[in-house]
Structure 1
């Protein structure tokens, strides 16, 4: 293959960040010549050299590589659920709870906000509003009867994307761009040397199939290969930092994901029919859902990590729920070929938890709830898989007004959680775990929510485990690796981070990173949507 063209921009990776970055840039500069390099390709084998060369040191806390990323046009959006969540003000503040280890600021948050409306258009998740108080239809509503705001709010929402498969949704759009060339089946390997102005002019790429090398020339490079591979590429190309005193110490460090799971039920006192247990729909048909969160002032005052809560179903695998529909869904997910078609591995794991128990009792639930145990899943299947605006998830009404309470919590950024190359530089080694402070904050936020519900007469929490066992249980049930945050973090100087506030790699003039790995804090939010807004901002900056 010969690439004689000197491209204006080379984008490495074709996930949501890479696609949004490319489409926005070419909309502003249709005459520019852009190259997109993607490792995956049509007809690729199940195994690949990148995932095969990742070592997870504590697999109990971190999903295996093949469950964390996808290769090919659209990247990890192939198994993305579509949840779009905004970061919060607290995530940009220096605070003792994260050892003041916050290297971005509120000014950066404000700089990204103007690009949120364009991001919602790419994600097709509705209006750029993430607070129900600003939506007339829902401004005076609450999650349950008698809910009263105080230290906790129930108006923050998640939006749900329609094009959860970016390759399928935008592939044709990209192909029709006359000045865009897409190279599938190529791995970005080695950047050329910096010139006296800190510019890189070339990148060596390697064919995934025949291992042959080619060279790409471009005026600007954007690394949008996901948290793991963006970090690996910089670790392999430390000569990009030759103009600095040393390679940034933060490179590969401060790896964060989220802690999440269920340790309690929430029981409301009011009318069960007035509880918003599932999805709300905007006038345009988009799905939204409430999240309960603590206010910034309370988190700061009490030194707590940012945590979100929402209502959920009981564990599917436990037949004690006595719900025929849930038993049907659980049994379906135990059938490997069906589970693979219906949900990504990480989602399947949240349903089965790797357990195969109580089969006879599940079958009894099916029989007792017949025909509802089959009719309800059939209706859900239609809404979830057979229409354009798909039902994002499954939440079942509780006539007793009792729901499992799902939590998703920020993780403390610590240097010990890191990605690094093996001594031979051929493998990416991931060290990842949870700290006692991560766990302690989750327990404290549950207690604070329980107290607020009781004090206002709205309800209460009911724990599933003894108090002395909660910490151990949280560490056992929390498992991530999908939300890859922190390893190329933003900071004003290379002493504190890897990229500057414009996502440019410190020490270079034309190499950028567009990945959630640039986020210094994880917050409570799933990172994909905010990364999309950052991608729009970066395209306009370049």
Structure 2
């Protein structure tokens, strides 16, 4: 690469956000030149300097970086499960519980929504309809017999991608475009100094294999390197903020993920055969899944965090479930070389919880359920791994109409949860913990759903633990670090955030961040799909900027 080439756009990071930004910008600006910089490369070693230089201060509740991100074209989509979820109105509203830390608004949400159709095309998850009442085949259907919508709804769904591995899926599209250049095996290090207009013209990049340094020049830069590395890059380039009175206080702060796990089962009163315990299939073949969720009004009135719950299997590792197929799948996950192929580390951990328990009892479950304990996994294996649109997960029918409830809950934006550089700026330290209010909201959400199901004579919750033990248990079982949010958040001024509503870094005129790190609140949603829609919005904004300049 020659350093005298001036690109119209340089995108740093090739995960879904980076690739969508490049492809969409190219689609609407086919005459513009684009440089895509990616740290990973084909044949890279198992370990890398970036992940090795991250120190997670609370490994009990936060996965290690190798389980959270991937290096290489496509980024974390290499091990992404494919869940596509929409954010909710409540996520953009100021509430007493979050108050001034909700630094975006409903207007931003409305500006992103028109781009969800194009995002759904990139993610290959069907039409971006997340309300079952808007889909003719499922209108007025319910999760279980006797269920009816009230302050608890079962109409919001998650949609599922293939899952789409962005590197494999879009490499040819990127490579065949003559105006797009991909640099794999390069680390973005230092932006050039700002000129009098607040623009930088270059960034120094390092060849990961040879350590050779060179400069990449561009008119605009988009940092799309994931929350960890996008935050690290800005922390290492504080000169970008020299036109401000100070470096934004929010930079690296207000780090959020999600609380998740199981503390209860739901027992429905009606016919077990009328319970939607698994996946729904749209006419176009895409998978969808119901979720139980409290309405916006109820969340506001009761000052609760946004949380969803879905029907799930009992704990795989506990042989008390007496299900041969579940025991077989649990034992398969324990085999090192096989477990790694069957599921990404974070998902595998959600099944095994890192525990080897009751192997003999699991073998007994397996043997007594033969041949079903082998036939069922074989059918699932075919649907999960051998066809193009893969079965997203495994959910088994309960003749007792009893299912575990998996919760996925919003986390408060807390200043103390943060990413910061060590004094020598070589290590990224991650400080992460749960607030008491995070945990309290999970418990109150379960209580509200339990009361509602009892009131409408649909069912009830059955807790797995004593009430006084729930706070401790939720803290112990919740482990994230995959959904990284909040460290470069959107706000109306640099006093409250790091980027403006167009994702432009405060103090600059041509540096942008396209990462879930810009989301001020985490909501209940996996951030990937909404980030894809934000990337499309950004590409359109950059086109508008080009035309005006």
Tell whether the structures are fold-level matches, with TM greater than 0.5: yes
d(CA) in 2 for partners of 1:69 and 1:252?
18
Q: Secondary structure at the match of 1:19?
A: helix
Contact 1:516 1:531 in 2 (8 A): yes
Work out whether 1:508 is the aligned partner of 2:508: yes
Correspondence for 2:34: 34
Q: How far does residue 2 in structure 1 lie from its aligned partner after superposition?
A: 2.1
2:428 is matched with 428
Q: Separation in 2 of the partners of 1:3 and 1:289?
A: 49
Who is 1:87 aligned against? 87
**Shift of the alpha carbon at 1:209?**
1.0
Partners of 2:185 and 2:43 lie apart in 1 by 10
Deviation at 1:49, TM superposition (A): 0.3
1:58 aligned partner: 58
Aligned equivalents of 1:361, 1:262: Cα separation in 2: 22
Stretch deviating more after TM superposition (342-351 or 98-107) = 98-107
Q: Residues of 2 paired with 1:219 and 1:17: CA distance?
A: 19
Check whether the contact 1:260–1:479 (CA below 8 A) recurs between aligned residues. Answer: yes
- Paired with 2:287 and 2:516, the residues of 1 have a C-alpha distance of 24
Query: Is 2:115 the partner of 1:122?
Result: no
Residue in 2 aligned with 1:214? 214
* Residue of structure 2 equivalent to 1:336: 336
Is 1:400 the counterpart of 2:400 in the alignment? yes
Cα offset, 1:4, TM superposition: 2.8
Q: Does the 8 A contact of 1:311 with 1:404 survive in 2?
A: yes
Unmatched 5+ stretches in structure 1: none
Give the distance between the partners of 1:494 and 1:4, measured in 2 at CA: 33
CA deviation profile, 1:506-537 (whole Å, cap 9, x unmatched): 11000000000000000000000000000010
SS of 2:204's equivalent?
A: strand
Aligned with 1:189: secondary structure?
A: strand
| More off after superposition, 478-487 vs 158-167 | 158-167
Q: Is 1:236 aligned with 2:213?
A: no
- Give the superposition deviation at 1:163: 4.3
Q: Distance in 1 between matches of 2:98 and 2:443?
A: 17
Pairwise CA distance, 1:210 = 1.4
* Partner Cα distance (1:402, 1:128) in 2: 31
What is the match of residue 348 of structure 1? 348
Q: Distance in 2 between matches of 1:3 and 1:178?
A: 18
Q: Deviations over 1:455-501 (max 9, x none)?
A: 00000000000000000000000011000100000001000000000
| Superposed displacement of residue 331, structure 1 | 0.2
- Normalised by the length of structure 1, the TM-score is 0.99
Tell me the residue number matched to 1:307.
307
Match of 1:281 in 2: 281
String of CA shifts for 1:335-359, please: whole Å, max 9, x gaps: 0100111110000100100110101
Question: How many residues in Structure 1 have an aligned counterpart in Structure 2?
Answer: 542
Aligned equivalents of 1:532 and 1:179: distance in 2?
Answer: 22
Q: CA–CA distance in 2 between the matches of 1:105 and 1:99?
A: 12
- Cα distance, 1:164 vs structure 2: 2.5
Q: Secondary structure at the match of 1:500?
A: coil
Give 1:61-210 correspondences, 5 Å limit.
Answer: 61-210=61-210
How many angstroms does 1:101 deviate by? Answer: 1.3
Q: Tell me, in whole angstroms, the C-alpha distance in 2 between the residues paired with 1:227 and 1:142.
A: 37
Asked if residue 499 in structure 1 is aligned to residue 499 in structure 2, the reply is: yes
- Judge conservation of contact 1:324–1:373 (CA < 8 Å) in 2: yes
1:257 aligns to 2:257 (yes or no): yes
- Residues 191, 202 of structure 2: 8 Å contact kept: yes
Work out whether residues 163 and 169 of structure 1, in 8 Å CA contact, stay in contact via their aligned partners in 2: no
Is the Cα contact below 8 Å between 2:124 and 2:164 reproduced in 1? no
Tell me the secondary structure at the aligned position of residue 110 of structure 1.
helix
CA distance in structure 1 between the aligned counterparts of 2:449 and 2:167, rounded to whole angstroms: 40
